[in-house]
Structure 1
Amino acid sequence: MEKEKRILVGMSGGIDSSATCIMLQEQGYEVVGVTMRTWDIPSHFSTPEQEQPDEILEAKALAERLGIEHHVADVREEFRNVIVQYFIDEYMKGRTPNPCVMCNPLFKERILCEWADRTGCAQIATGHYCRLEDRKEHRYIVTGDDPTKDQSYFLWKLPQEILKRMVFPLGGMTKTEVRAYLAEKGFEAKAKGGESMEVCFIDKDYRDFLREHCPDIDERIGTGWFVDSKGLKLGQHKGFAYYTIGQRKGLEIALGRPAYVLKINPAKNTVMLGDAEQLKAEYMLVEDINVIDLQELLECPDLSVRIRYRSRPIPCQVILLDEGHLLVKFKAEASAITPGQSAVFYDKGRVLGGGFIAFQQGIKKLIAENEERKHVLSST
């Protein structure tokens, strides 16, 4: 079969990648599967005797049943050095990481490209719930038809050279339809399978994970102070890395009223607390941007931004500060602006690009400068 009809599928052994394999095979593709072994935790093994985790065994079984070529990529060491280290480093900087956002361009899709070249596959397919759209010379990610499963938010960092090889067969389906499709094809047990964890390498609480993989974290950070918006001390906390913006539960401090984390200052090891109203924001700073067409982003009349996975898109406009930074003005209510999380920009359902939410220090000065600039322009 010609190379154009050989397609590599990232097989996790789950519902979505299994449906992807079957669907592509029905469409006449010669499917090649690769399963990445990234991280071993006890819940990934059904029996103590297993040498490989469940997902690899399930992917192998599916490949054998479908008669497709299958490979296992043992990338545990690299995953630890790249993705897990990023996760730890971000918390140590007082930020809240997006491991899935980083994993796609830096790790999974890059490795899939390498395996596609190795196995003679022109294209790469995954079970992501999103679609693709070609405009002029660019390829854009578009939200999937199932709003509860849409995964476009996680893919904004994918470069064009990878996107132009990608195929997302499930983008036009809902999860319910995918389950029904698998059952119809004789994979009833698979169709009834459970969902995978949101962060694949976290088995319990992320704080326990940090302590396990960074044993000296408590010595390096130490206890610090909860403070209010005026800087007054409210009580001690366990260390800034154990908190995230917007957090209300697990603070272990009694103030006689609901309290939320407003800001984290890693330099001073302080965590600012306040009420829900204080979490609201009219602007935010975004850094490390990756945008397909910057002019389109700046001039888009229907621009919106999602500031966390599953959050609603918020209408906005953006001001370019310099090559890698944007000032975002919200046109509707926004809350809990969290450094380290992704800000993903949409024109209706089409992803124009994204960036990481920055620490918001100095934003008042930038807002004032922007308002002054607008005043000068309107006066001329």
Structure 2
Amino acid sequence: MQPEFQLSEPFDARRIVVAMSGGVDSSVVAALAARTGAETIGVTLQLYDHGAAVGRTGSCCAGQDIRDARAVADRIGIAHYVFDYESRFRDSVIADFADEYMAGRTPIPCVKCNMGVKFTDLFQIARDLGADCLATGHYVRRVEGPQGAELHRAADPARDQSYFLFATTQAQLDYLRFPLGGLPKPQVREIAAELGLSVALKPDSQDICFVPDGDYAKIVRKLRPDADEGGDIVHVDGRVLGRHKGMIHYTVGQRKGLEIGGQPDPLYVVRLDAEGRRVIVGPKAALAVGAARLSDINWLGGDFTEPLTAKVRSMAKPVPARLDGDRLIFNAPEYGVAPGQAAVLYAGERVLGGGWIAATEAAMAEAA
């Protein structure tokens, strides 16, 4: 007798396309989808050069990951297709990543990937294959509300990925399924082991998938040769404290690696002036932000009068805030708010939407 598993979101479909990255999460989704009796089709997007991807693990959609996805599909007896989206990924995600750093912003390529190849293009592939839904291994919950599908945080706070999915449109949400959103990761691995999947013990993805060694500057430098052009390190009071080795090496909130010793108090990167190639630094108090201007706001939540919370970094806790047009106003000064990152808005567990942080308003005046 096969073991029974309780899905966070039950399937009700005759044909299901599953986005298979080669990891344990999407593999379990594919296996559970197939167990419902629905025709299940696994789809993997190849995002890297075949030669460069050989042997790479701990990312997603690389050479070994594609082989793992195919092995799981063979194990559970479903069709599996690989689509080459290398050029699309390079142009829409990697090039944008480099441009954002060059503009003095801190990018989130995972969101851009979800907005593009993973949900827009994969969504169309699933439609073309005649699927009733597209299932993924993301840790978020899709809840049917009185006015349609809602996006909610995962039950396991340590695994919640809602921050990276704020740009999901309502049409996409209606079509998507997230069956793991109510499960803790250890249980997902237990399911994989019970089903005999070879990826049950495979390590989770680390860092940005196309930067496996964590050296962001190397990627930017390869695409933008002038990325290492130096400039001044300037205190918020206007004093020039030294020279930097290229703005791609700095992000808002950074303290280490400034190489401006002899200062009486710790200094942090407060903002980046791309046009003047200046790194602006100051005391921790100078990092305090009272409000942020958002661009390209995606709204999923309808009209809300209850208090909102905002999450301005993937690892940050949501804090009380309010939205006035495109201006996000924090109830108390918030730290480490960086242009290029996202501000995601919540009402309790529900994701209302979010936008890209275009600019910040300091809670204290700067002289620089």
- After TM superposition, the score normalised by the length of structure 2 is 0.89
Q: Counterparts of 1:333-352 in structure 2 under 5 Å?
A: 333-352=333-352
Unaligned ranges ≥5, structure 1: 366-380
Shift of 1:293: 4.5
Give 3-state SS (helix, strand or coil) of 2:191's partner.
helix
Partner of 1:319: 324
> Cα deviation per residue 1:18-70 (whole Å; 9 max; x = unaligned)?
111111122232210011111248884229xxxx7101111111111111011
- The question of 1:155 aligning with 2:191 is answered no
Question: Displacement, 1:364?
Answer: 8.8
Contact 1:41 1:201 in 2 (8 A): no
Q: CA deviation at 1:356?
A: 0.7
Give the structure 2 partner of residue 306 of structure 1: 311
Where does residue 372 of structure 1 map in the other structure? none
**Helix, strand or coil for the counterpart of 1:104?**
helix
Q: Which residue of 2 aligns with 1:235?
A: 242
How far residue 279 of structure 1 moved from its aligned partner, in angstroms, is 1.2
Aligned partners of 1:157 and 1:23: how far apart in 2? Answer: 27
Whole-angstrom distance in 2 between the partners of 1:358 and 1:294 = 23
> What secondary structure sits across from 1:157 in the alignment?
coil
Match of 2:271 among 249, 252, 263: 263
Q: Which residue of 1 aligns with 2:285?
A: 277
Q: How far apart are the structure 2 equivalents of 1:120 and 1:106? A: 20
The residue number in structure 2 matching 1:369 is: none
Who is 1:253 aligned against? 260
Inter-partner Cα distance in structure 1 for 2:115 and 2:291: 28
TM-aligned CA distance change 1:304 to 1:41, over 3 Å: farther
Q: How does 1:161-176 map to 2 (within 5 A)?
A: 161-176=171-186
Q: What is the letter of the counterpart of residue 64 of structure 2?
A: D
Q: Deviations over 1:301-342 (max 9, x none)?
A: 23100001021010111211xxxx2x2222245201100000
Shift of the 110–261 alpha-carbon distance from structure 1 to 2, 3 Å rule, reads same
Kept after mapping to 2: 8 A contact 1:37/1:56: yes
Query: In structure 2, what is the equivalent of residue 26 of structure 1?
Result: 35
Q: Deviations over 1:260-303 (max 9, x none)?
A: 1001111111111112222122222222211125632xx3x231
Q: Distance in 2 between matches of 1:101 and 1:305?
A: 17
Give, in angstroms, the shift of residue 138 of structure 1: 3.7
Shift of 1:169: 0.7
CA contact (8 A) 1:148 1:310 kept: no
Structure 2 distance, partners of 1:231, 1:40, is 46
Secondary structure of 1:4's match?
coil
Q: Across the two proteins, how many residue pairs are aligned to each other?
A: 347
**What letter matches 2:29 in structure 1?**
T
Q: Is the 2:290–2:361 contact (alpha carbons within 8 Å) kept by the matching residues of 1?
A: no
Cα deviation code 1:2-22 (max 9, x no counterpart): x93110001011110011111
For residues 130 and 323 of structure 2, the distance between their equivalents in structure 1, rounded to whole angstroms, comes to 42
If asked which structure has higher relative contact order (CA below 8 Å, sep 6+), I would say 2
Is the 1:105–1:159 contact (alpha carbons within 8 Å) kept by the matching residues of 2? no
**Per-residue CA distance 1:110-147 (angstroms, 9 max, x = gap):** 12222212222110000000001233434221001111
Matched, 1:131 2:141: yes
Distance 2:28 2:153 in 1: 19
Q: CA RMSD in A?
A: 2.2
Q: Distance in 2 between matches of 1:308 and 1:274?
A: 21
CA contact (8 A) 1:41 1:203 kept: no
Partner in structure 2 of residue 376 of structure 1: none
Residue-by-residue CA offset, 1:171-219 (whole Å, 9 max, x unaligned): 01011111111112223x522110112311112210111112222333x
Matched with 2:356 is: 356
Counterpart of 2:296 in 1: which secondary structure?
A: strand
Query: How far has the Cα of 1:159 moved from its partner?
Result: 1.2
Which letter does structure 1 place at the counterpart of 2:201? K
Match of 1:223 among 197, 222, 230: 230
Q: 1:19-98, aligned counterparts within 5 Å?
A: 19-40=28-49, 44-46=53-55, 53-98=63-108
Does the residue aligned with 2:303 lie in a helix, a strand or coil? Answer: helix
Query: Is the counterpart of residue 144 in structure 1 residue 151 in structure 2?
Result: no
Question: Offset of 1:361 from its aligned partner?
Answer: 6.1
Specify the SS of the correspondent of 2:27: helix
Matched, 1:193 2:202: yes
1:96–1:42 CA distance, 2 compared to 1 (3 A): farther
Tell me the percent identity: 37
| Greater shift in the superposed pair: 34-43 or 99-108 | 34-43
Q: With the length of structure 1 as denominator, give the TM-score of the two structures.
A: 0.86
Higher helix share: 1
Report the CA distance between 1:230 and its aligned residue: 1.3
Distance 1:293 1:178, change over 3 A: closer
* In 2, Cα distance between equivalents of 1:264 and 1:286: 18
Equivalent-residue separation in structure 2 for 1:86 and 1:19 (angstroms): 32
